[in-house]
Amino acid sequence: MFFCNLSPFFSPVDWVEFGQRYPDVKDVHLIWYYVAYDKEFHSKRTDAQLNQLKKDTIQLIDTIEKEESFPAQTSFLYEWCEYQPACPQYAHLYKLEGKPANEYLNDPGVKLVNRYAELQDQKNDTVDELDTELEKLKEAIIAFAKRENVGVVFGSNKKVKITISEKTMYPSKNDDKRLKLNASIKKAGLWDEVSDLDVYALIRALEQPHWPKQLVNEIKKYQTIEKTERITVSKIKNKEE
């Protein structure tokens, strides 16, 4: 048996070359160590899998050799690419290198991008301002509806309907309260009914008569009610329509 510690970038071609380099080795276990995550992964291949891998690799090589277009494929490794000066993703940047400031800023591409970015920032600022004003108006409309005890507020040719809904919430999975809640349900022998604390299943289960009242009251201590207030704008229809 042969054990080999490998880089995470061990490729299909490496598999084939490994088999050619060590023809007498029949049982190979590959091990990846991810030190940052304290994880260890094992992998192995049968002779049939290696033969199929060899065929697939040769087919891939043939496909690459016949290809005439190689569009850039960006990834987190792109910054270390040695061919950036010849790549369309970076060609403009390398064209600008070494230019004095006046020539750099007068480059047509630089001017276009700078203007586009400037307008995009202005647009975002405008959107943020509108969102802020809309949120304030929404709060004012809801407050008006509550004060006047109405469900719909009318304007000149539009109306706004106010919808208020409530949602029952429980502690998240990483919360210590969630563990205590789970323990209480398991102790009562009713865990299977809520399926790893499916919130919707738990809400329905609390309405069942066979759930002990003491347990129901204990569970409700973990509940919080999330209130959502939503408004909907629609056109006012004329009586003739």
Instruction: Give pLDDT tens digits along the chain (241 positions).
Output: 444 444 444 555 565 666 677 677 667 777 888 888 888 888 877 778 878 888 888 898 998 888 888 777 777 777 788 888 888 888 888 888 878 888 888 888 889 888 988 998 999 999 999 999 999 999 999 999 999 998 899 888 889 998 888 777 888 777 888 888 888 888 888 777 775 667 777 778 888 888 888 888 888 888 888 778 776 777 767 654 5
Q: Report d(CA 167, CA 172) in Å as an integer.
A: 15
pTM of the complete model: 0.44
Query: Do residues 42 and 1 make contact, with C-beta atoms less than 8 angstroms apart?
Result: no
Task: State the pLDDT at residue 239.
Answer: 53
Q: Report d(CA 149, CA 55) in Å as an integer.
A: 75
Collapsing DSSP to helix, strand or coil, 167 comes out as strand
Query: Do residues 41 and 34 make contact, with C-beta atoms less than 8 angstroms apart?
Result: yes
Query: Do residues 142 and 162 make contact, with C-beta atoms less than 8 angstroms apart?
Result: yes
Distances (CA, A) of 81 to 73, 78, 166: 11, 5, 53
Q: Which of 162, 176, 169 is nearest to 234 (CA)?
A: 162
Question: Which stretches does DSSP call E strand in the chain?
Answer: 2-5, 28-34, 39-43, 152-154, 158-169, 224-235
Task: State the pLDDT at residue 128.
Answer: 92
Element (H, E) at 53: helix 47-66
Q: Report d(CA 169, CA 199) in Å as an integer.
A: 8
For residue 135, how many C-alpha atoms fall within 13 Å in the half-sphere facing its CB?
A: 6
Task: State the pLDDT at residue 208.
Answer: 83
